[in-house]
Amino acid sequence: MSSARLLSSRRALAGAAAFVIAVLGGCASDEVPYEERAVEQIYNKAMDLMEEDRYRPAAKEFDEVERQHPYSEWARRSMLMSAYANYKVNQYDEAILNAQRFISLHPGNRDVPYAYYLIGLSYYEQISDVGRDQKMTEDAVAAFTELVRRFPASEYSRDARLKIELALDHLAGKEMEIGRYYLNRHDYIAAINRFRIVVEKYQTTTHTPEALERLTEAYMALGIKTEAQTAAAILGYNYPGSDWYEDSYALLAGYGLEPVENTDSWISKAWQSVTSVF
């Protein structure tokens, strides 16, 4: 290699090394430099930052409590406070991790219900529209459900129940969107499978009347009249004044049929299995 090319190569390597050092230096600057301090001093500083709505540096100070004084009472408090501070600045992964760790390390602590609630909120805040993947919605439902199951009388369970209902409605909306897509493409079996999920899993949501009407449409298109009549009958029994029932009734009437429930139908059995619980 010529001396000129060797010099150029060395300069390139030196430049790359300088870039890496700069990047690493920038990352390191986000960390709280280690300075041994009394636990009360670190915790109080974190709380002062919280009062100033400076949640990101507050979270780092709470983490510092754990780093320097891992076995203290302050460390236990700081773990959950760090989760909350991270939640406030939309650092949801960190919030969930800290809250889960709190539950794992202190399962009998009185603040465990709040830790579950914070996990649920962190997933709930990330719920996207029905056109996107609904993993966050499912995770939110799971976290809130666990909270309600384990701590039904908790002050956080009431709001958790409300958010569960809203999240389930969202999941049902996703199934309806896919079902409508298949129905418009005349893929009736695939459409029925999606509307069936709504009737069986999300029966208490606002999407159930439409799901029953769409089942009436799909079954009539396949020539399966008894199932179409059952869907319309269930719809009429439970939502007699809805536009969806009027549409189902008119569709059947066009073929000289009326809504009649077949108690052997999966629709009838699914409805009875849910309503009997309540």
Question: pLDDT for 69-107, tens place per residue?
Answer: 777 788 888 989 999 999 999 999 999 999 999 999 999
Q: What is the pLDDT of residue 62?
A: 87
Non-local CB neighbours of 164 within 8 Å, separated by 6+ positions:
141, 144, 145, 148
Give me the sign of the Cα torsion angle 60, 65, 67, 71.
negative
- For residue 23, the model assigns a pLDDT of 39
Closest to 198 measured CA to CA, from 184, 211, 189, 188: 211
Closest Cα partner for 263 from 221, 227, 218?
A: 227
User: Token match 């805040």: residue?
Assistant: 125
Q: Would you say how long the chain is, in residues?
A: 278
Q: What integer pLDDT is reported at residue 1 of this predicted model?
A: 46
pTM of the full structure:
0.78
pLDDT at 32: 56
Cα dihedral across residues 75, 51, 156, 115: positive or negative: negative
- How far is it, in rounded angstroms, from Cα 86 to Cα 26? 20
Query: What is the reported pLDDT for 22?
Result: 40
> What is the CA angle 241-201-164, rounded to 5?
90
C-alpha closest to that of 210 among 183, 187, 189, 185: 183
The segments of the chain whose pLDDT lies below 50 read 1-29, 275-278
The per-residue pLDDT for 101 is: 93
Backbone angles phi, psi at 103, to 5 degrees: -60, -40
pLDDT value at position 65? Answer: 77
Model pLDDT, residue 274: 53
Q: Would you state the pLDDT for residue 64?
A: 82
